[in-house]
């Protein structure tokens, strides 16, 4: 009985401390150990896929479009997109094409997971047809 009373008292004291800012509540150990974020910082276009004019690149993360824009040869852009995940994350780069019979061009993909966290700034290279792109990203806990 004394053990139950002590556990209840400790639980109430901890709850009161969290409520008043005395302690910081942490996520569960299982959640903290398996989640991470991918931060996509920049995209550099060394050369476009389109023969005339700029490309209209776009980025998807796990199938959802997170950025689109327009780039020409030797141009870069700041992306600053952050996505959280607990599984393998697939990042794909496409060049949007207009027209009924002209599908978007798939320029490449890469995958990251929790094992990539803490490795600092990383690069992903995409080279398809005449396109040459580099994406700069980081994986953090």
pLDDT reported for residue 32: 54
pLDDT reported for residue 17: 39
Q: What would you measure as the largest C-alpha separation in the chain, in angstroms? A: 81
Q: Are residues 118 and 64 in the same domain?
A: yes
Q: Are residues 116 and 96 in the same domain?
A: yes
Question: Half-sphere exposure (CA, 13 Å, Cβ side) for 94?
Answer: 18
For 18, the domain range is 1-27
93-127 in b/e form (b: 16+ CB < 10 A) is bbbbeeeeeeeebebbebebebebeeeeeeebebe
pLDDT reported for residue 33: 64
The number of angstroms, rounded, from the C-alpha of 69 to the middle of its chain's C-alpha atoms is 17
Going across the sheet that includes 89-95, the strands are 64-68, 57-61, 89-95, 105-112
Number of domains in the chain: 2
List pLDDT tens digits, range 58-106: 999 999 999 999 999 999 999 999 999 999 999 999 999 887 777 899 9
Q: Are residues 21 and 46 in the same domain?
A: no
As a whole number of angstroms, the distance between CA 37 and CA 89 comes to 9
Q: Are residues 135 and 72 in the same domain?
A: yes
């Amino acid at each position: 009985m004394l053990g139950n009373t002590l556990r209840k008292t400790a639980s109430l004291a901890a709850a009161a401390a969290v409520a008043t800012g005395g302690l910081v509540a942490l996520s569960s150990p299982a959640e903290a150990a398996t989640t991470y974020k991918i931060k996509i910082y920049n995209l550099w276009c060394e050369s476009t896929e389109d023969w005339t004019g700029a490309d209209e690149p776009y980025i998807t993360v796990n199938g959802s479009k997170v950025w689109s824009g327009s780039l020409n040869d030797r141009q870069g852009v700041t992306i600053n997109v952050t996505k959280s995940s607990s599984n393998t994350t697939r990042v794909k780069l496409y060049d949007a094409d207009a027209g009924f019979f002209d599908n978007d061009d798939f320029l490449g993909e890469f995958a990251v997971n929790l094992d990539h966290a803490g490795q600092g700034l990383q690069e992903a290279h995409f080279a398809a047809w005449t396109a040459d792109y580099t994406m700069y990203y980081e994986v953090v806990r």
